[in-house]
A and B are shown apart, each in its own frame.
Chain A
Amino acid sequence: MNINREELDRLTLELKDEKLRSRAFSKIVEMLSKPVYWHIRKMVLSHDDADDLLQNTFLKAWQAIDSFRGDSQIHTWIYKIASNETLTFLAQQRLRNTSSSLEMEELLLNNLRADSYFDGDELERRLQEAILTLPEKQRLVFNMRYYDNIPYEEMATICNNSVGALKASYHHAVKKIEAVFKDDD
């Protein structure tokens, strides 16, 4: 995650001032919309769904800005909201459209195949398909670590989990993905 943390800290202070709040929040959106979008997009795969969830994430953050006490950094707090929004969306989608995790995997695979904004080659598409075989929370951990290189300590705050558990989860995720590639004879 390539974020200017000093600038974010300064903007976080400005959020406390009612006169500067709106402008500071717009700057935060400018800085975080890209990484948060990719975080969501890698989970839901479809651009339209990711766009809706990104908007919901920032709107929820804006509405709850008074409750942000600064216990964690603002970007960690927004990542946390985005993760919750995404996992809730996937759970609702599963309830609405499918009855099993296999059907859900198929639904997401169709999203991936129909996605006109997928720029990856065949190997990358295969990797995405392998990632889709993971449970959702493990998928979240894998994406944050493999694609965004988020430190385990930050991931622990975002996921409400221990560093040890997250390291184990990532390790298992990699094993499962390797196994999928091994089976592709």
Chain B
Amino acid sequence: MMEHNFDFDRGSGKNPFGVPEGYFDDFCKRMETMTTPKRISLLQRVKPYRYAAAVIAVAVITGAFLLNNYNDSQKLQTQHSRTVATSEYNDVINKILIEDTNDDMIVDYIIAEVD
């Protein structure tokens, strides 16, 4: 039998374990960091709103730029269409005038102008 002097009735056993030096102090500091509510500055509090505002501003500027481009291209297209339509109209009128005008009509016109 292995002899021992443990007094199990008294219940005052010696703790045979140890810890690294300064362990409990470090543990308390670690826990304090984990359980202390972080103070949030006004600048940090409005940070999400600043991001949202920046996104909205970029969207508005991009939208305005795209809209502007679209309007310009529409204007150019209209102008171009008008120019094409006018020249086509003139061609048709000229064609009609030339085709419907004979030499007698020209002579009559000149005589009338001279008079």
Which residues does A use to contact B, with CB under 8 Å? Answer: 22, 25-26, 29-30, 33-34, 37-38, 41-42, 45, 47, 51, 54-55, 58-59, 62, 115, 117-121, 123-128, 145-147, 149, 174, 177-178, 181-182, 184-185
B14 interface residue (CB < 8 Å to A): yes
Majority secondary structure of chain A interface residues (helix, strand, loop or mixed):
helix
Contact B17 A42 (CB under 8 A): yes
A-B contact list, 23 entries, CB within 8 Å = A22-B35, A25-B35, A29-B27, A29-B28, A33-B24, A33-B28, A34-B24, A37-B19, A37-B24, A45-B17, A55-B27, A55-B30, A55-B31, A59-B31, A62-B35, A118-B16, A120-B14, A125-B16, A127-B16, A146-B13, A181-B1, A182-B2, A185-B2
Contact A29 B31 (CB under 8 A): yes
Contact B27 A126 (CB under 8 A): no
Min CB gap B85→A, angstroms: 77
Question: Once the chains are docked, how many angstroms separate the CA of A38 from the CA of B31?
Answer: 17
Most buried by A among B18, B36, B37: B18
Q: 0/1 per residue, B11-33, Cβ < 8 Å to A?
A: 11111111110011001101110
Question: Once the chains are docked, how many angstroms separate the CA of A182 from the CA of B2?
Answer: 6
| Chain A hits for B4, CB < 8 A | 123, 126-127, 181
Interface size range on B against A: 20 to 34
Min CB gap A42→B, angstroms: 7
Which residues does B use to contact A, with CB under 8 Å? Answer: 1-2, 4, 6, 8, 11-20, 23-24, 27-28, 30-32, 34-37
Min CB gap A23→B, angstroms: 8
Contact B28 A118 (CB under 8 A): no
Question: Once the chains are docked, how many angstroms separate the CA of A30 from the CA of B31?
Answer: 9
